[in-house]
Amino acid sequence: MTSAQSTVHTASGDISGTVEGTGVRAYRGIPYAAPPVGPLRWRPPQPAAAWTGVHDGSRFGFDPIQLNEPAARGSLAPGMSEDCLTLNVWAPASVPSGGAPVLVWFDGGGFTADSGAKIRTDGTHFAKRGAVLVTVNYRVGVFGFLAHPALTAESPQHASGNYGFLDAIAALQWVRDNIAAFGGDPKRITAFGESAGGAVVAALLISPLARGTFDQVILQSPGSFRPLSPLADAETAGLVAGSDLTAMRAMTAVELLPLNAKINPAVRGLTIPRPLRTIIDGWSIDRDEVDAFRSGTFAHVPAIVGSNAYEGGWFTANIPVRTTEKLRAYVADNYGDMVDEAWSYYGADADAAVERAVGDAFGDAQFSYGARSLAKEISKRQPKTFRYLFTHAGAHTSNPPVHSDDVIYVFGNGTFDAADQRVSDAMMAAWVQFAATGDPNGPGMPAWAPYDSGRDNYLTFGGDMTEGSGWRTKSLDFIERFYAARA
C-alpha cells in the first residue's frame, strides 16, 4: 500500500483535492470535456482545454440545466449551467500498488435531470472501502437529447440527439486515461447507474463508440429494453425548438428549458418510444436495444442488474388515474388489443385499489421488465451476471421500497438503524467486491448465485438477504409477449 498525494497530475493539468476527516481524498468539479456552450451547444463533447497552475478541486461544478434548483434536488452544486461537463472523484488515502477498483456513477432523472453533486451519492464510503468512486454530470433534456433535422444535416455522422450519452462515453474515456493518477486501476472500471443512469449504462453496452471504456456494469432499476425512438421520429419531435439552427443556438437556456415539457408527454406512455432520451441515431446507437441484446451485439462484460419491489409507487402521484374507469382506459391506451390480458395483471375491482394497480403497471413496464430482460440476455453470453431485488423497508425507505429507494443504501449515506446498516453494508460490500473481481461473492457476504433464466433467481436485499425466484414472472412474461406480438 502507498499513500497518495492530495494534488494529482492529469492530461489536462494539476488538480488539488481535499483530504477529509476520514482520510478520503476528494476532487470535485474536474472538467472532462470542453464547455458545450455557444457553437458547441448540441455538438458531441470536445476535449477539455489544458490549464496551467493547479485546478481547485474543492468545489463541485455546475449541475446541468434542469427544472429544479440544486438545493431542491439534494445537490451541493453552486447552481446550474450549460457549462456542466465535470466529474468528481473520491479516492482512498492509501491504494494498492496495482491500483484500486473504480466505479463511475451516472445519476438518474428521466433524462431531464441529473447531478454528480448529490449528497446521497457522495463517494466517501466507497473510498473508505478501498474503491475509487467517480460521479459524472452529463447534459440532459433538450440540451442533451434534442434531435433535429438541422442538427443531423450539419453532423459529419448524419446524427443528432444523444449528446448527453456521448458525454457519458467521454467521461469514461477520461477516467480510463486519467484515473491512475488518483490511485485507480484503469483496467477495472465499473460503469453503474440508476433509472435513466441505468439506461445510460445499458446503452453503453450496445454502443460501438463505448467499446473499451469500461470493464463491468451495474444497472439499478434501468429504464431499458423498451423500443427506442428512431432518429426520424425524434427529429420530428425536436421541431418544437424551431427550424432556424442559428436562432436556436442563440436562445438562452431559460428560453429552451420549457421545451422539455413540450416534447415529453405529461403522462408517460408505458410502451411507446420517448424522443427525449437515448435514441437510435445511427452512430452512437446503431440499432434498437432489444435487437442488440438478443443478437449478442453488446459488450459481454460481467454485470449486476436489479430493481426495487414497488418501483412504480414513486410515480403514482403524477398519474391522474384514480378510478377503475380511468384505469381501464389507461391500460387500454398502453396495451391496445391485449387490454384484457393486461387487465388481469393491472386491473382493479374498486377505486381504492387503483393506485396500487397503476404503480404495478408503471413499475413493471418501465423498470422491472427491463431489469429481468437484461439479466436474461446478458447471462446468455456472460456467466458472471447477477440479479437482485431490493425489498428493504426501513428508516429511509418506503414499505415496500419504491423507485430510487435503494440508492442511499448503495452509497451508505444515511443515519441508519441496525437493519438499515446491515442492508447498506451488504450492498456496498457486494458492489466493491464486484468492481474488484467481476464477482460480488466474498468472505462474510451473502451467497449470490449467477442468474439462471430457467430459475429466474435473484438475491434479495432486505430482511433475509437470501435467494428468491420468480418475482412478478407472469406479468413480466406478459409484457414480453406484448412486445413480441409487435416485433
Question: Known catalytic residues?
Answer: 195, 311, 403
Q: Count of residues for the chain?
A: 487
Report DSSP letters for 166-226, one per residue.
HHHHHHHHHHHHHGGGGTEEEEEEEEEEETHHHHHHHHHHH-GGGTTS-SEEEEES---SS
- φ/ψ of 411, rounded to 5, equals -95, -10
Q: Please name the residue that has the C-alpha cell 436562432.
A: 247
- Report the distance separating Cα 292 and Cα 298, nearest Å: 6
Does residue 400 have a cis bond before it (omega within 30 degrees)? yes
Report DSSP letters for 334-366, one per residue.
HHGGGHHHHHHHH--SSGGGHHHHHHHHHHIII
Given CA atoms 250, 253, 257, 258 in this order, what sign does their dihedral have?
A: negative
C-beta atoms surrounding 89 within 10 Å? 28
- The DSSP bridge pattern shows strands 94-95 and 7-9 to be unpaired
- Cβ atoms 392, 462 nearer than 8 A: yes
- Report the distance separating Cα 25 and Cα 92, nearest Å: 6
- Cβ atoms 32, 39 nearer than 8 A: no
CA geometry: angle at 426 spanning 421 and 432, to 5°? Answer: 120
- Report the distance separating Cα 478 and Cα 341, nearest Å: 8
- Report the distance separating Cα 409 and Cα 424, nearest Å: 4
C-beta atoms surrounding 393 within 10 Å? 17
- Cβ atoms 480, 474 nearer than 8 A: no
- Cβ atoms 165, 200 nearer than 8 A: yes
103-136 b/e with 16+ CB inside 10 Å = b?
Answer: bbbbbbbbbbbbbbbbebbbbbbbbbbbbbbbbb
- Report the distance separating Cα 399 and Cα 462, nearest Å: 11
Start-to-end CA distance of the chain, whole Å, equals 54
388 forms bridges with which residues in the sheet? 306, 459
- Cβ atoms 111, 140 nearer than 8 A: yes
